[in-house]
Amino acid sequence: MQQTQTVIEIATSGQGLYEITRPFRHFVVGTGIERGLATVYCRHTSCSLLIQENADPDVQTDLITALHRLAPAEGPWVHTTEGPDDMPGHIKTMLTGVSLHVPVRQGALALGTWQGIYLIEHRARPHRREVILQFLGHRAGEQSRAR
Amino acid sequence: MQQTQTVIEIATSGQGLYEITRPFRHFVVGTGIERGLATVYCRHTSCSLLIQENADPDVQTDLITALHRLAPAEGPWVHTTEGPDDMPGHIKTMLTGVSLHVPVRQGALALGTWQGIYLIEHRARPHRREVILQFLGHRAGEQSRAR
Amino acid sequence: MQQTQTVIEIATSGQGLYEITRPFRHFVVGTGIERGLATVYCRHTSCSLLIQENADPDVQTDLITALHRLAPAEGPWVHTTEGPDDMPGHIKTMLTGVSLHVPVRQGALALGTWQGIYLIEHRARPHRREVILQFLGHRAGEQSRAR
């Protein structure tokens, strides 16, 4: 059983979805590992992780609209010192989460046909965000010995 | 450390919760592994995974009602080409998630007394859904050597 | 690759956030493991897990307010036999989740600067809650041999 970790930095330019499927795929292939568990972790409290449809960009528009309805800027929040987008950002992060995993099969992420992996930036201004990719698994030969 | 993966297919008959605790338990017992981490992954963007109460069916009715209130079919969505249940399905999937894990102790899933594992179908029509079960852990003897 | 599990019990005194970062850090350091994956699992259906800001307590107040707006006690629920805080507790648990993970790097949880790990109690009365901490990873020397 092997493991590898890497940190990727994502420069966001305000609220929206930022796809990280490609660097994640690249990382998994680079490990040479055949089968295992890939995890993603977001080190922030006002941006989060999501696996969602990567075909029609309208879906992303609607996901952002939906989050705004659930955590409106004009809500009855008491934590307002960091701006009107901050507390809604924390709530949206609570609802979507900062840790997720994807199985790895035959050396590739086992995403469904329409699934992409996204960082969702909930703040209005640009930020630099850190995401940790981690992979635990067996190489091809090792895997067959291990079973 | 061993690992095993399997794909199960769930035939859904429209919106609702479909319990997968039993095939998941069966899978874990079949591995002969004593202690480890079991993961579940849903390969879709309009159905999701949930661990919730498996006693009173009224709870499931209310969970579906709650999701409908959070992502109403009549919402101001722009992605409407796939029908009125599609965009709400994506939003409900965002709010509940497609990956989760359960620890394994003494050869069994360490679910709480009232916890069951469910696939939630968010679409109105029947679908065939793929869920990946994965297990990383030690067999009984191996575990004692490894510590 | 090593693994360790432990169960911690949290005595809650009603609705609110209960930070478990410290016992979790203590557990990870105690394993002597350098690099790996730490997981947390909550064995209940009306309390859940959250990684959120641990600086300004007002954030916690607003998170609780936000959850109440999303799952109001006076909602149109049919499952009401266990009191007005029960069904909202299930819904809030559905929206926040009972399993999460944090990577471990250099022998420590790789939490972001402002991140703390919390159990959220959704019930009004005090409860005793069980949370399973689990750690899979390599010790310092073992890790270098394994790569």
**CB contact burial C114-147 (16+ within 10 A = b; e otherwise):** bbbbbbbbbbeeebebebbbbbbbbbeeebeeee
Q: How far apart are CA C79 and CA B56, in angstroms?
A: 8
3-state secondary structure of C94: helix
pLDDT of residue A141: 75
Q: What is the pLDDT of residue B116?
A: 98
CB contacts, 8 Å: B51 with chain C: 45, 97-99
B2 interfaces chain A, CB cutoff of 8 Å: yes
User: For A56, which of B43, B79, B97 is closest by C-beta distance?
Assistant: B79
C62/A79 CB distance under 8 A: yes
Q: Does B70 reach chain A within 8 Å, measured CB to CB? A: yes
pLDDT string in tens for chain B (147-residue length): 899 999 999 999 999 999 999 999 999 999 989 999 999 999 999 999 999 999 999 999 999 999 999 999 998 999 999 999 999 999 999 999 999 999 999 999 999 999 999 999 999 999 999 999 999 999 887 754 444
3-state SS class at A50: strand
Give the distance from residue B60's alpha carbon to the nearest chain C alpha carbon, in angstroms.
9
- The answer to whether residue C95 neighbours chain A at the CB level (below 8 Å) is yes
- Rounded-to-integer distance, Cα A99 and Cα C51, Å: 9
pLDDT in tens, C78-118: 999 999 999 999 999 999 999 999 999 999 999 999 999 99
pLDDT at residue A144 above 60? no
Looking at every residue in chain A, the average pLDDT score rounds to 94
pTM exceeding the 0.90 threshold for the entire prediction: yes
Q: How close, in Å, is residue C71 to chain A by CA atoms? A: 11
Q: Which amino acid is at C10?
A: I
- Indicate whether C11 pLDDT > 90: yes
Task: Please report all neighbours of C, defined by 3+ CB atom pairs within 8 A.
Answer: A, B
Q: What's the confidence (pLDDT) of residue C143?
A: 55
Whether A142 has a pLDDT exceeding 90, the answer reads no
Q: In this complex, do A41 and C105 lie within 8 Å of one another by their Cβ atoms? A: no
Phi, psi dihedral angles at B96 (to 5 degrees): -110, -30
The C-alpha of A137 sits at a distance from chain C's nearest C-alpha, in angstroms, of 11
pLDDT of residue A143: 55
- Per-residue pLDDT tens over the stretch A67-78: 999 999 998 999
Give how far A74 is from chain C: nearest CA, Å: 12
Do A10 and A118 contact (CB within 8 A), yes or no? no
**pLDDT tens for residues C19-57?**
999 999 999 999 989 999 999 999 999 999 999 999 999
How far is A33 from C119, CA to CA, in rounded Å? 35
Contact (CB<8Å) A62/B45: no
Cross-chain residue pair B102–C41, CB shorter than 8 Å: yes
What is the mean pLDDT of the segment spanning A5-24?
97
Q: Is A143 on the interface with C (CB under 8 A)?
A: no
Given a cut of 80, whether residue C16 has pLDDT beyond it is: yes
Model confidence at C144, pLDDT cuts 50, 70, 90, reads: very low
